[in-house]
Amino acid sequence: MQFRSLLAGSAMLALLAGCAAGPTDQREDAGMTASQANYQGTLPCRNCDGIDLDVTLVGEEMSAPEERTFTLDATYRNHPQTPPDENYAGNWEVLTGTPSDPDATVYELTPNGDGQIYYFQRIDERTLELIDPERRRFENGEMLQLQRQ
């Protein structure tokens, strides 16, 4: 009788240990995914069919500044002068507030070397919107949004 209880207890312990290990592994995988976010969209262009923008943010808002990096790739569609793709890499900062929303979250992307600084307001968990350096939204802001992939 005691042997059966010991066997049943050991089996239950092994089952519980297996269940406990599964979700822990999944959380670690999810954490790795959360530390990298990719956003894509097509911005309007006066002389072409649009500018395809691909932005990858690596790191968390709470990470040390040197751990927050980004890449930004811009490709012009059907531009008459066929400009080369633009590719930037650098670091991003988290800024709080805009003139119209003091609680807004804004990401400032500063490329290494030459290149302009980009400002994106986080609209929601899946959407970033390109804004001006004064942290103001453009009138056609919905046309300047990138979606998380």
pLDDT in tens, 37-83: 999 999 999 999 999 999 999 999 999 989 999 999 999 999 999 99
CATH number of 96's domain: 2.40.128.640
| Same-domain pairing of 40 and 29 | no
Q: What contacts 24+ positions apart, CB below 8 Å, involve 89-92? A: 90/115, 91/65, 91/66, 92/57, 92/59, 92/68
| Same-domain pairing of 48 and 29 | no
Residue 34, beta-bridge partner list: none
| Same-domain pairing of 63 and 107 | yes
| Same-domain pairing of 30 and 89 | no
Q: What is the pLDDT of residue 25?
A: 42
Region 81-110 average pLDDT: 96
Per-residue pLDDT for 21 more than 60?
no
Q: What is the pLDDT of residue 1?
A: 40
Pull the structure tokens for residue 77.
């569609």
| Same-domain pairing of 16 and 40 | no
| Same-domain pairing of 17 and 60 | no
| Same-domain pairing of 12 and 77 | no
Structural domain boundaries enclosing 4: 1-34
pLDDT tens figures, 99-108: 999 999 999 9
Q: What is the pLDDT of residue 114?
A: 85
**In sequence order, what are the residues at sequence separation of 6 or more whose Cβ sits closer than 8 angstroms to the Cβ of residue 42?**
50, 51, 52, 53, 77
Q: What is the pLDDT of residue 2?
A: 37
Q: What is the pLDDT of residue 72?
A: 97
| Same-domain pairing of 63 and 119 | yes
| Same-domain pairing of 52 and 17 | no
| Same-domain pairing of 125 and 68 | yes
- Tally of domains in the chain: 2
pLDDT tens figures, 130-142: 999 999 999 989 9
| Same-domain pairing of 125 and 76 | yes
| Same-domain pairing of 24 and 45 | no
Share of the chain above pLDDT 90, in %: 72
Per-residue pLDDT for 32 more than 80?
no
- Evaluate whether 135 touches 95 at the Cβ level (below 8 Å): yes
